[in-house]
Structure 1
Amino acid sequence: MKKKKRWLEISPPRLLVLGFAVIILAGTLLLALPISSRTGTPTPLIDAFFTATSATCVTGLVVVDTGSHFNVFGQVVIISLIQLGGLGFMTMATLVALLLRKKISLRERLILQEAMNQITMEGIVRLIRKVVIYSVCIQAAGAVLFTIRWSFDFPLWQALGLGVFHAISFFNNAGFDLFGGIYEPFTGLTNYVGDPFVNIISMALIVLGGIGFIVISDVIEFRKTRRLSLHSKVVLSTTGLLIMIGAAVIFAFEYTNNRTLGTLSLGEKLWAALFQSVSPRTAGANTVDIAGLRQATQFFTIILMFIGASPGSTGGGIKTTTFTTLVGAVLAMIRGKEDIVLFRNRLAKDRINKAVTLSMFALLLVVGVSMILSTTEDHHFLMILFEVTSAFGTVGLSMGLTPDLTLVGKLLICLMMFVGRLGPLTLAYALQPKAEKELYRYPEGRIMIG
């Protein structure tokens, strides 16, 4: 009875942390087995742990090439971890419960609310149903379209495998790919830099996975309701603006760079610039060599990765809504306004405080880990900062540092991926002692700012 009571006392954030940790450990054991590698030899435990963490946290950073190192069994394990990590183990558990016609308890609804980053529990089970339906439909459509395209280049069974794997990987913003086993290791989608079909389908999956399921639901039901929520308006406008600005900046910076866009035709330049602007939305796929980008472009990509995707999605980062709130706060202060107003709606003070807290927490974490790695890894600081931000944003883009990481470096990057997937605040809530209600408040004081 005491054991049951203790289990029930575990807070939703702690249960989420524990659940993801269990999935990662299970994935590590499976990927370390000889039956997971092409050579039939065991994968080093730290490499299996890194890969399992990257897959579960839908990041895409790899120390061994997925396509050339792992066989079909290993690749199935990885894509299963991506699906579990992307949708969340609680979403999958709820789906099973719904199929078995079991009632969802209040406690389970609280955990789902935390997992989906929702403000209230209202309609949470209905949202989970939508999440599953939308995910299955979008990924199935992506798999079919990819299969049709790659059936022109490969046997049908291989095209089908590639289609399913990459549809799941891109929709969940994981960034894992199998083309290292077909072309050269760690090549990504560089062989399809000018292919409109592959580019469009990949970017569509990435964006749909990154804007969040609430926004997808809002857009689908727009015909009936004729309205979008404030959240959806902010997410769609910010995402669109970041993609357009990102594509323009990358196109301008890399236009004459022979290591990236310089040798491509104008059409291929446009596709490559657009793709590399969408990818930092936490997808991690690439059609050009990331290490070949100019330093200005690499730093700009770091900013995009730090912002990341949107709440309630499969992506990481501080999120588009947080970024918009911060920008709104700055503009309101410059204009001498007291309130942040977005689309004729005033933001609540607790939302602003949460945005500032999350951003500061994330910034200190990225800077702190980058400083530590700069002492353990013999590489340029920009390269280290890029890798750390990519891990935190669960992006998966890399300048080539990941395979050369030391043991300490691999463990720290794993930690960043874990924090990035769960969210810094969720992890902070999970680690903090039980909060006690304050019986008094201190008098208000004023300090000079700026």
Structure 2
Amino acid sequence: PTRGIYYGVFHAVSAFNNAGFDVIGNFKNLTPFVEDPLINCVIMGLIIFGGLGFSVIQDIITKKNFKHLCLHSKIVIVTTLLLLTCGFVAFYAIESSNPYTLGGLSTKGKILAAAFQSVTPRTAGFNTINLADLKMPSKYLTILLMYIGASPGSTGGGIKTSTFAVIIMMIYTILASKEDVEISGRRIPYDNIFKAAVIGVIALLLIFTSSFILTMTENTDFMSILFETTSAFGTVGLSLGLTPNLTDIGKVVIILTMFAGRVGPLTLAMALGGRTNKAMIRFPEERVLVG
């Protein structure tokens, strides 16, 4: 009983804090419990709540009504639900016929495994199936989910759900030829939009640079490298098996990528760039051709 309580507390804390550490051993993680509804649902619930952000959790507890929540909370909740739903449907559709992942499970097991796989890339790091056996589209989808990550002020990494939502709405605004980025009857300030775009671009550049270096130091396929670097940036902890075989240079690159991902792309850029200086002179405006 004492060991069971210790295991329960350890994995509960690890799940809520999106750490992904387990004490099961033998590199099994949570694979022995792939069809256990209690463990899957509890772990998924802790991961999701830990990734919402403490301000959102407080907002939910205080106001108790979705209509009364602040815009940030609404964006985080809606984006999180959309990502979880789309991820679940996609993983279930892609992996149901894969005998090495979902194909050999019961219907209940397939549903639990697909749901868990849509939750865990949110920087959690747990897995109930062998990720190396995933089909290529599922690996790409996992990379995207790891890139987006959790939400601001949470225990997770990534560019954050609200950042992703603002970027998507910015793209929609441009395509729709609108003047302002509007969400739920509110106009998003331009500095918010610029920061979201900068975070997304810096994150991509960081992942690209780390992947480029690893292609020179590691003797493996590009998918494993891209998966590894994105997982490091999002502080996820998932891997296709490359981690134990990294060279010394590769380990340093991954460590630096994890540090940059945890600190945050924008925070790191501002720290390196120094203070923002307001211009005393504004030059005449002139458009340039883009696209």
User: What is the TM-score with the length of structure 2 in the denominator?
Assistant: 0.97
- Other-structure match for 2:21: 176
Percent identity between the two aligned chains: 51
What is the match of residue 173 of structure 2?
332
**Matched position secondary structure for 2:120:** helix
**Which residue, 149, 160, 182 being the options, matches 1:319?**
160
Q: Once the two structures are superposed, what CA deviation does each residue of 1:318-371 show, in whole Å capped at 9, x if it has no partner?
A: 000111111101111111111111111110000000001110000011011101
Task: Kindly state the Cα deviation for residue 394 of structure 1 after the two structures are TM-superposed.
Answer: 0.9
Stretch deviating more after TM superposition (220-229 or 299-308): 220-229
Which digits, 9 at most, give the CA deviation of each residue in 1:17-54, with x for residues without a partner?
Answer: xxxxxxxxxxxxxxxxxxxxxxxxxxxxxxxxxxxxxx
Q: Which residue of 2 aligns with 1:285?
A: 126
Q: For the pair shown, which has the larger CA radius of gyration, 1 or 2?
A: 1
Which string of whole-angstrom CA distances, capped at 9 and with x for unpartnered residues, describes residues 57-97 of structure 1?
Answer: xxxxxxxxxxxxxxxxxxxxxxxxxxxxxxxxxxxxxxxxx
Equivalent position of 1:360 in the other structure? 201
In the TM superposition, what are the counterparts of 1:4-403 in structure 2 within 5 Å? 156-180=1-25, 185-223=26-64, 227-403=68-244
Letter in 2 for 1:162: Y
CA distance in 2, matches of 1:353, 1:430: 17
Deviations 1:391-447 (CA, angstroms, capped at 9, x unpaired) = 001111110100000000011100111111110111222223455443222221211
Once the two structures are TM-superposed, the CA of residue 186 in structure 1 deviates from its matched residue by 1.2
**Aligned counterparts of 1:337 and 1:306: Cα–Cα separation in 2:** 28
Distance 1:225 1:329 in 2: 24
Equivalent AA in structure 2 for residue 403 of structure 1: P
SS of corresponding position for 2:121: helix
**Is 1:420 matched up with 2:265?**
no
1:28 is aligned to none
- Does the CA contact (< 8 Å) of 2:66 and 2:74 recur in 1? no
The amino acid that maps onto 1:310 is S
After superposition, residues 430-441 of structure 1 pair within 5 angstroms as 430-441=271-282
Partner AA of 1:326 in structure 2: I
- How far apart in 2 are the matches of 1:226 and 1:362? 33
Bigger CA drift: 367-376 or 423-432? Answer: 423-432
Shift of 1:221: 1.0
Could you say what secondary structure the match of 1:179 adopts? coil
Unmatched 5+ stretches in structure 1: 1-155
Q: For the residues of structure 2 that align with 1:388 and 1:337, how far apart are their CA atoms?
A: 36
Classify 1:204/1:435 alpha carbon distance in 2 versus 1 (closer, same or farther; 3 Å): same
Residues 344 and 443 from structure 1, CA distance in 2 versus in 1: closer, same or farther, beyond 3 angstroms? same
Aligned partner letter, 1:356: A
Residue 167 of structure 1: how far off its partner (Å): 1.1
TM-score (norm 1): 0.63
Match of 1:444 among 282, 285, 289: 285
Q: CA deviation at 1:373?
A: 0.2
Distance 1:397 1:263 in 2: 22
- Segments of structure 2 that go 5 or more residues without pairing to the other structure are none
Partners of 1:443 and 1:157 in 2: CA distance: 72
Q: Which residue of 2 aligns with 1:407?
A: 248
Aligned pair in 2 of structure 1 residues 166, 265: CA closer, same or farther (>3 Å)?
same
Q: Distance in 1 between matches of 2:278 and 2:202?
A: 23
* Secondary structure at 1:370 match in 2: helix
